[in-house]
Amino acid sequence: MFNTLNSLSALVLTGKVDAAEKMIHTISTFYRRSLAGDPTIDVPLEEEMRSQRLYLEIEGVRFPDRLRIAYDIPEALEQACVPGMILQPIVENSVKYGVAPVARPVTITMAAREEHGRLVLTVADDGPGAPSTELPGDTGGAGCGIGLQNVRDRLAARFGSDASVVSGSTGNGYATIIRIPMVANGC
């Protein structure tokens, strides 16, 4: 929030009124959705992605030459149910640890796929990664900051042992992969 307000202030001070107005609208929409939503209920993946797009649009003002976004969300999965705002801490981590510390463009990719009756959500970036963790062996210890632990706790409360979160360095960035039971059209 602090960084966002600083970016907004910079837009105003440099006379970029249209951009500042757009950012104010985006911020208000994002916070209205995130604060009004009940984090204990499921939402369609399409709605979750709309929230993440708004957040990344705000961050794009902070990092206009560095933040790149790619989406790979099949239309057939847009109505799959996910816990509301479940991707937010993961996307925030990609911005904080993938985009912010480097001077080059970094792409954050959000993807979804169905795998053996499960919904698989991936948030990955091609930033500096975290050399101390590896994706295949992460069991909840490595790559387990507060945001990721909250995601794990929420998924465990909702799905028990039917959910998993794997997170770590990919050798070309960092990725977090969530696997949850596929629930379609019930949210």
Distances (CA, A) of 69 to 81, 108, 156: 23, 5, 29
3-state DSSP helix/strand/coil percent for the chain, to nearest 5? 45, 25, 30
Superfamily of 2-181 according to CATH: Histidine kinase-like ATPase, C-terminal domain (3.30.565.10)
Q: What is the DSSP letter of 73?
A: -
Other Cβ atoms closer than 10 A to 71: 13
Per-residue pLDDT tens, the chain, 187 aa: give them: 666 777 777 778 788 888 777 777 777 777 676 666 666 789 999 999 999 998 898 889 889 999 999 999 999 999 999 999 999 999 999 999 999 999 999 999 999 999 999 999 999 999 998 644 444 444 444 445 788 999 999 999 999 999 999 999 998 999 999 999 999 878 8
Q: What is the pLDDT of residues 107-159, one digit of tens each?
A: 999 999 999 999 999 999 999 986 444 444 444 444 457 889 999 999 999 99
Say what the pLDDT of residue 49 is: 96
Percent of the chain with pLDDT over 70: 84
